[in-house]
Amino acid sequence: MRISPRHPRYASLAVRAHLARAHRQGVVVPEGLIAHGRGEAFDYLLGERSYAGARRAERAAAAWLLAARHPVVSVNGNVAALAARPLARLVRAHPRLSVEVNLFHRTPRRAARVAARLRAAGIRTVLGVHPTARIPNLPSDRAFVDRNGIAAADVCLIPLEDGDRTEALRALGKRVISIDLNPLSRTSRMADLPIVDELTRALDRITAEIRGRRVAIHPGVFRPFDRSAALAEALATIERRLRRAARAPASRPSARR
Amino acid sequence: MRISPRHPRYASLAVRAHLARAHRQGVVVPEGLIAHGRGEAFDYLLGERSYAGARRAERAAAAWLLAARHPVVSVNGNVAALAARPLARLVRAHPRLSVEVNLFHRTPRRAARVAARLRAAGIRTVLGVHPTARIPNLPSDRAFVDRNGIAAADVCLIPLEDGDRTEALRALGKRVISIDLNPLSRTSRMADLPIVDELTRALDRITAEIRGRRVAIHPGVFRPFDRSAALAEALATIERRLRRAARAPASRPSARR
């Protein structure tokens, strides 16, 4: 079906159609579509823009990725479908950042497809297609990683991650930067630096921060980030939006009576 | 993958797996999976239970369905996948309620599959597989209806409906009862009686109310329902939950440091 650009929800309908296509192509799994819907709801509640706290987190994430000795970004089907190009821009701005495919629902074919998407967007080296190591105490396929990638990383950027894996990565002593629209998710609550923002907006802002960076970065020195304040601000942003909506809840665009 | 019943999100993981299966069987479309995710997020924010305002709306819906001369419930792929049995129980409690298949992404095959699910759950008569009428001013396939079903209904129960169709049904002068977890959606804002609750919980409560009904119902006489207050209460419920979460946002189930 063609979507009219004048539809009040055109932008999100277009993204949905794009994801449905990526699903038919074997990149996105059904569970990934459901997860996207959850994100959509939170983005809607957050006003579908990067509020001040999100921008602060993105600035801090840029500094951490630059200070890292071995930063790695973990990519699943949804990330590849939604943000291969923003990710390629980030890697161009920060070539030391490794890119690794990591799938909850892993098949060799699907891993190859996700990697192909990333390569088509301009990312030359993609790890994780043939895993060479394993994260302990993680029963899902997400435990399979690359010896020189996530297994060796000091800082992991994990967009659209699940709580179990976030916990497992932290248990290995890695610094975890998450991108997740749900400020109440286990991922957001477990991450060292939770970014509560939409994926492409977050990646583009991190890239811009890396490009515009003037201050010297000392490898291995990470500026502290107040994660509690960041999550509280995300919740307060949603609350503010809801209070505004509650004042005019029953306005009907057009009505019978 | 098998999900452990001890996982903190077991219930919603099991529903997701069930929906993914219904998708592979051609009952649920990709867009339906995304829509389910949106609902999940709102259910989470509402505390995953029927708050007092939802229970009030379900009581009122039971009265309206009994007072209706020709009540019809509209069923799409997600409704058939998630709630064929609760729906069959509702129809047993209120046999005058007609059931009609109505799909946004309609193919004759998919309509037949959705109808088959309903029949397998014990619903004998399923309308809408071969549409005989059309709702005016609605460009999508959801315009196709049954002459003796939705087209002739005075009260429509529309679970998991989109805003355009809700608007079109109201423009035809029908009383619309919606079931939608998003209190800010166009459907919730357009409906005469918006139920902001999870589908199976809502249907089971309506059924219980119909069964337990003691007060006489006069056909065609509908007790007024304060929709603005109902939506405001849904928003206030979410706000309360967020405030509570904001007080302890950074509690980590287990931590490195």
Q: Of A171, A189, A231, which is closest to B256 when you measure between CB atoms?
A: A171
Q: Any chain A CB within 8 A of the CB of B77? A: no
The pLDDT, as a whole number, for residue B193 is 98
Higher model confidence: residue B87 or residue B257?
Answer: B87
The C-alpha atoms of residue B159 and residue B156 are separated, in whole angstroms, by: 10
The C-alpha of A60 sits at a distance from chain B's nearest C-alpha, in angstroms, of 18
The C-alpha atoms of residue B211 and residue B92 are separated, in whole angstroms, by: 10
pLDDT in tens, A143-176: 999 999 999 999 999 999 988 899 999 999 999 9
For A88-102, A238-252, B59-73, which range has the lowest pLDDT when averaged over its residues?
Answer: A238-252
Higher model confidence: residue A64 or residue B251?
Answer: A64
Closest Cα partner for A76 from A30, A27, A124?
A27
Q: Of B20, B39, B228, which is closest to A30 when you measure between CB atoms?
A: B20
Per-residue pLDDT band at B201 (split at 50, 70, 90): very high
**Strand arrangement, sheet containing A71-75:** A126-127, A98-101, A71-75, A155-159, A175-179, A193-195
Which phi and psi angles does B229 have, rounded to 5°? -65, -40
Mean predicted confidence (pLDDT) in A186-212: 96
∠ CA A133-A88-A194, nearest 5°, is 65
Q: Any chain B CB within 8 A of the CB of A248? A: no
- Does the pLDDT of residue B21 top 60, yes or no? yes
Mean predicted confidence (pLDDT) in B22-37: 95
pLDDT in tens, B113-135: 999 999 999 999 999 999 999 99
- Does the pLDDT of residue B167 top 70, yes or no? yes
The pLDDT, as a whole number, for residue B154 is 97
Task: Kindly list the distances between the CA atom of residue B3 and the CA atoms of A56, A102, B7, B12, B137, in Å, as whole numbers in the listed order.
Answer: 37, 19, 7, 11, 45
Q: Do B38 and A37 touch (CB under 8 A)?
A: yes
The C-alpha atoms of residue A220 and residue A110 are separated, in whole angstroms, by: 35
**B44 residue type, one letter:** Y
- Does the pLDDT of residue A249 top 50, yes or no? no
Residue of B1, B6, B13, B33 for testing the chain A interface, max A β-carbons within 10 Å: B33
- Does the pLDDT of residue B90 top 70, yes or no? yes
Q: Any chain A CB within 8 A of the CB of B238? A: yes
- Does the pLDDT of residue A250 top 60, yes or no? no
The C-alpha atoms of residue B14 and residue B28 are separated, in whole angstroms, by: 16
Mean predicted confidence (pLDDT) in B218-242: 92
pLDDT in tens, A1-39: 566 777 777 888 899 999 999 999 999 999 999 999 999
Give the residue carrying structure tokens 């998450």: A178
Mean predicted confidence (pLDDT) in B16-35: 94
The pLDDT, as a whole number, for residue B3 is 67
Return mean pLDDT, chain A: 91
Q: Any chain B CB within 8 A of the CB of A42? A: yes
- Does the pLDDT of residue A61 top 70, yes or no? yes
Q: Any chain A CB within 8 A of the CB of B3? A: no
- Does the pLDDT of residue A92 top 70, yes or no? yes
Q: Do A232 and B249 touch (CB under 8 A)?
A: yes
- Does the pLDDT of residue A218 top 50, yes or no? yes
Q: Of A16, A23, A231, which is closest to B250 when you measure between CB atoms?
A: A231
Q: Do B189 and A44 touch (CB under 8 A)?
A: no
Note whether A189 and A231 are within 8 A (CB). Answer: yes
The pLDDT, as a whole number, for residue B156 is 98
Note whether A243 and B237 are within 8 A (CB). Answer: no
Q: Do A246 and B239 touch (CB under 8 A)?
A: yes
- Does the pLDDT of residue B50 top 50, yes or no? yes
